[in-house]
A = this chain, B = another copy of it.
Amino acid sequence: MTASYRWQQGDKVYHFGSLAELMAKATPERSGDALAGVIAESAEQRVIAQMALADVPLKTFLTEAVIPYESDEITRLIIDSHQLAAFAPISHMTVGDFRNWLLSDAADSQALSALRDGLTPEMVAAVSKIMRNQDLILVAKKCHVVSAFRNTIGLPGRLSTRLQPNHPTDSLDGIAATIFDGLMYGNGDAVIGINPATDNVPQTIKLLAMLEEVIQHYQIPTQSCVLTHVTNTIEAIEQGAAVDLVFQSIGGTQGTNDTFGVNLAVLKEAHEAALSLKRGTVGNNVMYFETGQGTALSADAYFGVDQQTCEARAYAVARQFDPLLVNTVVGFIGPEYLFDGKQIIRAGLEDHFCGKLLGLPMGCDICYTNHAYADQNDMDNLLTLLGVAGCTFIMGIPGSDDIMLNYQTTSFHDALYARKALGLKPAPEFESWLAQMEIFSDVDKVRLNQQLAKPFGASIALLSDK
């Protein structure tokens, strides 16, 4: 029962076989969609598709699913959780009108919050396809999404960082050294989150214990996470481990999540398990999700849907579990999905916009691999653009180089650049802590202390003595 779409331009009539096809053809160029064979054949066809898409009534998205309701639990989640009352203010609009409205003065932060539950990922993906980068920035900037656990994430004028102290053998010393480095640069308020090289439960528990010790010892107003498979985290919780946040990579189709070995039920179980620990102090958002365009195609579970729409659908999954953090790992997989700096930048802005509009505390792993056609300058650009757009958090890694995951993301220094250039600050609780620990001499001017912060001096002195 899928409809087909026609568009008349001059004396030519263009056909699109389905809503999914129309959306795919309307998507700005990217390698993943070319790989999937769903991309527009020419720049002209792309614009025609955008014109046709702009004229699709938003209501259509409630009756025409890009992946059938019957066969996909994410479609079911999207449709079943849609709130007609929230949708009311825009229910008469087309996608094109919706763009106009989003950019209008009527769409202020309050109006945008009120709208969240009335939006489906597909509506949001559709409108993003006809928006320029500046539109994506301007609207995202108006969306304020706040979450909290041991500090408050996402307040306007703030930019948080995940401290990512990965080590190829999970050496506790190596990880601790990196955590130290990061803290000295004021990173780590979103989370101190380790990707374990060795992905098992005992390892997870060991790493969690170490993080807990550090956070307790220095009374850092932040949370920890070991980015292992959700089922491992559930086991760890059962074994009494100190779990702050539950991590999981998620995708936008049931099939993708199948290959990730997860589903809504498992996520629910994990969510409840973490909530039961009641470890949050200022809030109780306990989930940390990662997403990224290309996973559905990589898992061969995209059903003709373009990768950006699949990505937006992943946000429906995330939204279901009130996450503290959602992170689009935008250039992580490689050029197979986002070919170069230009495509990575566009995707980063799209993901951030879609996530924010759907009400998620959206961060971005601003990154690239060595097999992609991108470099540090592209990342500087995206970092600055996302900073302007009000991105919730970014990664912080020593010198941009993840020595375990083998890719480059933003460095501890990069985060300070963004704060300085854009006048942004870390989470308020963390900000106070940085001042109190004498890591910064002036948080507003982003000036670090020339001296080694006193409370930490001891550890280093101790070490040098050995």
Which residues of A are at the interface with B, using a C-beta cutoff of 8 A?
28, 105, 132-134, 137-138, 141, 340-342, 345-346, 376-378, 380-381, 383-385, 388, 414, 417, 420-422, 447
Residue of B105, B378, B414 near A447 (CB, 8 A) is B105
- Contact B105–A380 (Cβ < 8 Å): no
Expressed in whole angstroms, the minimum distance between the Cβ of A138 and any Cβ of chain B is 6
In the bound assembly, the distance between CA atoms of A342 and B381 in angstroms comes to: 10
Known pairs A342-B341, A345-B381, A447-B105; A134 contacts B421 (CB<8 A): yes
Known pairs A141-B421, A384-B384, A422-B388; A414 contacts B341 (CB<8 A): no
Query: For residue A447, which residues in chain B have a CB less than 8 angstroms away from its CB?
Result: 105
- Contact B133–A377 (Cβ < 8 Å): yes
Residue of B385, B414, B417 near A381 (CB, 8 A) is B385
In the bound assembly, the distance between CA atoms of A345 and B340 in angstroms comes to: 14
Query: For residue A378, which residues in chain B have a CB less than 8 angstroms away from its CB?
Result: 342
Expressed in whole angstroms, the minimum distance between the Cβ of A29 and any Cβ of chain B is 10
In the bound assembly, the distance between CA atoms of A346 and B141 in angstroms comes to: 25
Query: For residue A380, which residues in chain B have a CB less than 8 angstroms away from its CB?
Result: 132-134, 137
Expressed in whole angstroms, the minimum distance between the Cβ of A416 and any Cβ of chain B is 10
Residue of B nearest to A442 (CB): B105
In the bound assembly, the distance between CA atoms of A132 and B132 in angstroms comes to: 25
In the bound assembly, the distance between CA atoms of A132 and B382 in angstroms comes to: 13
Expressed in whole angstroms, the minimum distance between the Cβ of A157 and any Cβ of chain B is 11
Query: For residue A340, which residues in chain B have a CB less than 8 angstroms away from its CB?
Result: 342
In the bound assembly, the distance between CA atoms of A342 and B385 in angstroms comes to: 14
